[in-house]
Structure 1
């Protein structure tokens, strides 16, 4: 079996390297060509523009970031990441000892051996979310794309061995932001007339539960779930206020979603044998960051580094626009997304932080279970 396992690697379609004498560890190729120990075989990523790294590039979509100044601080330039550099999952991948995870749109064969990123800008839990941006890949389709990945791998590795390896992988899911920003809060959606805030959160998490259960049934056992942050404080929302203050209405709107998500996780832990979850409390992370920005090295918390209009949030970052020079001092990169500096900070907190920001395990602890 070990011989066929490594033959499979050499055929460039295996995404996992497992050494018999290092239980719980595999090896990843470092950026400098060296090899370092990885805590998990692979990471599979599902989400929206906060962690998309290029899946929308070739779609007929208005939600794209494959142009400068996006990626201005990323080695290789613009990739489709909605950041000046790293996203949170890039940081987490490196801390796990993995290389940066490729987008599904580009991953094939050997490129899939350490995982795949299925995230898509404008995507939501609901299929209808984000239609203003034309094409996007909703969470349901992202799960289908993961099934396609499994089909490519299982035939050669075998179902039993694949199930064993998947149980050790990290499944990172960050969904829900667009279900508010690009659905419930949009005037051309009727959602707000159909549901009040609590009803909408109940509906979303009902769907979310079914989707995560599908991933479990496909072999996922270690989940990292990112909650929603202080969306009422992003430049796009700030720009709609004459006072420039955070929208408490928006911040309160998402509270039931985060509450429901935590309750969902507890229920899934009870109902699904062998499952483990880490919940990233992005709300608490952002609250702490905005309250203590200077202690973290940030001086600009209320406008984008790249954008146009009030709070640089009325029109998001345009092609070849000149961004702020001191990007590491800004919390927000554009109208909607944090800077690389914040993504690295949050990625580190999610990986090795305390229970005030990630629980019941941080990602390091989850990986070692």
Structure 2
């Protein structure tokens, strides 16, 4: 739907990379690099905020069933990643999707701090994902699979933007900041002169400065 690589395609690319790495440094060194690297996996954000919210799936499948299917796919992906040699994996939760400018716009307008229904969906998915990772960790010998909560850090910034030095939390820096996202943020739509003063770059992504604070919070917890 969004022109992204499927999970199977990503795994195929990873296998091809392993082959090139072995040709470059030898099998023993390559196996060491693969098993000792840290892998970051992000799953669920676009599936919930875009695919489910803007397709007939919303009428055909109750969200709890959809969330369970997403978690099942993520678990299968991690098992295959483990089979390819990965041992240290951090799996990121979703962002608070109802707090993003795009989520607030869909829910009724940018003046809403957060859209509770969308955030509830994200929380349900994150809870199931965390439980699945705990079970997976117990079955994959020698693995370290961690659930990394990126959900809670952003609302703290949104609710207290001035304490973090932000001046705008209502919309993104790009264009109107209410609907523009990703490739639609072009020179034609323009952007704010000081992105560092904004929590969000566009309708779906925090700015670099906001991400620095989020990452700092994650590393502090971890």
**TM-score normalised by length of structure 2:** 0.90
Runs of 4+ in 1 over 3 A off after TM superposition: 155-161, 315-318
Number of equivalenced pairs: 217
Aligned to 2:25: 157
The counterpart of 1:224, out of the listed 81, 90, 94, is: 90
Secondary structure at 2:162's aligned position in 1? helix
TM-superposed CA distance for 1:165, in Å, is 2.2
2:146 counterpart SS class: strand
**1:328-352 deviation per Cα after TM superposition (whole angstroms, max 9, x unaligned):** 111100111110101111222223x
* In 2: Cα distance, 1:216 partner to 1:242 partner: 43
More strand by share: 1
1:315 paired to 2:180:
yes
Correspondence for 2:61: 195
User: In the alignment, what sits opposite 2:36?
Assistant: 168
Q: Structure 1 stretch 175-184 or stretch 155-164: which is displaced more? A: 155-164
Q: CA RMSD, aligned part only?
A: 1.7
Radius of gyration: which is bigger?
1
Unmatched segments (≥5 aa) in structure 2: none
User: Residue 195 of structure 1: CA displacement?
Assistant: 2.1
2:1 is aligned with 1:136: no
Q: 2:75 aligns with which of 204, 209, 212?
A: 209
Aligned residue number for residue 336 of structure 1: 204
Which protein is richer in helix relative to its size?
A: 2
**Correspondences of 1:1-369 after superposition (within 5 Å):** 131=1, 133=2, 135-186=3-54, 189-240=55-106, 241-242=108-109, 244-245=111-112, 246-308=114-176, 312-316=177-181, 317-320=184-187, 321-351=189-219, 353-354=220-221, 362=222
Rounded to whole Å, the distance in 2 between the matches of 1:153 and 1:315 is 39
Distance 1:327 1:145 in 2: 34
**TM-score, normalising length: structure 1:** 0.56
Equivalent pair of 2:101/2:178 in contact (CA under 8 Å): yes
| Secondary structure class of the residue paired with 1:173 | strand
Are the counterparts in 1 of residues 110 and 171 from structure 2 also a CA contact under 8 Å?
no
Do the aligned residues in 1 keep the contact of 2:101 with 2:110 (CA within 8 Å)?
no
Please list every run of 5 or more consecutive structure 1 residues that lacks an aligned counterpart in the other structure. 1-130, 355-361, 363-369
